[in-house]
Structures are given as structure tokens and as C-alpha cells.
Amino acid sequence: MKLGIFTKPIHIEKIVNFLNQHTKILDYVISTERKETEAYDFDIGISYCFPYIIDVEKSGKPWYNYHPAPLPEYKGLLCYALPIKDKVEEFAVTLHRMTNEVDSGKILQVRKFKLDSQPVHTNELGTIAHYHLFQLFKETIEKIADGEIK
């Protein structure tokens, strides 16, 4: 299975390094471009904090999203600001099957963690969440490629 991984430029190096050094996944394409995802040849789509809407129904392929917050509680762009306002003491990151509704679809795996102290800035919570999101990616990406996670 060939993976199509769509992400932000800041995540490319760590994803590529992990895939090339620690997995049996050899066949993938990775992009940060907004252009239509159909321009790429792949079997399974992966959105890792990709900031653009993907028409998954149009693509006709299975799509998975790594979301840096618990779903369905914290969807979209305010996924850090609202938890800070809510003074959360525990947080989570989520892997889910994508639908055309933003940050919706079957939740496949959640990685929960306690916060040592309540974050006061979105960058603080974002840094903690992205650490855990990459751990979730490392734990699940081969299972997606092998069809163990559907």
C-alpha cells in the first residue's frame, strides 16, 4: 500500500526520518501542497495536521487524520484555545477516519495524557500535544498501512 501523507512543512523531516529509519513502509508520497490530492498516486490518505480541507468523498480512498486534540470536544482551529479557557487538566490527541465534515468520523485511537500544570498559552499546549501526536503516529502508521486499523 502506498501512503499519501499531507502535512505542514514543520512536520516533514520528522515524519520522513521516522518512516525511513523505523518502519517497513517504503512506498509513500509526502506533500505540504494545497493542490488537489488527486494529483498524487497513493492508496491511503493521511492528514497529519494538514491545514486544508480534503474532499475525501471525491477522492474515493480511505483517509485518516491525526488531530492534535481530543475529538469530538475540540475540533478545528480552536483546538488549543478552548481547552485553555476550559482549564483542562487532562488532554488527548486523536486518530480518526475522515469524512467530509471537519474533524469528524470514526475515532480509531486516542492517546490521553495528564498535564503537569494548566497551559496558559496555545503554543504551550500545542507543543505538548504535538509530542503526543507524533507518538500516536509512530504507534499506528504501520497498522494503517497493513490494514489493521480501518
Domain that holds residue 7: 3-69+93-110+129-145
Q: Is residue 32 part of a domain?
A: yes
Locate 46 and state its grid cell: 493521511
The per-residue pLDDT for range 102-134, each reduced to its tens digit, is 999 999 999 999 999 989 999 999 999 999 999
> Is 13 among the domain residues?
yes
Number of folded domains that form the chain: 1
Q: What is the DSSP letter of 45?
A: E
pTM greater than the 0.85 cutoff: yes
Indicate whether 43 belongs to any domain: yes
Q: Is residue 133 part of a domain?
A: yes
Q: Over 80: is that where the pLDDT of 35 sits?
A: no
Task: Say how far apart CA 69 and CA 72 lie, in whole Å.
Answer: 9
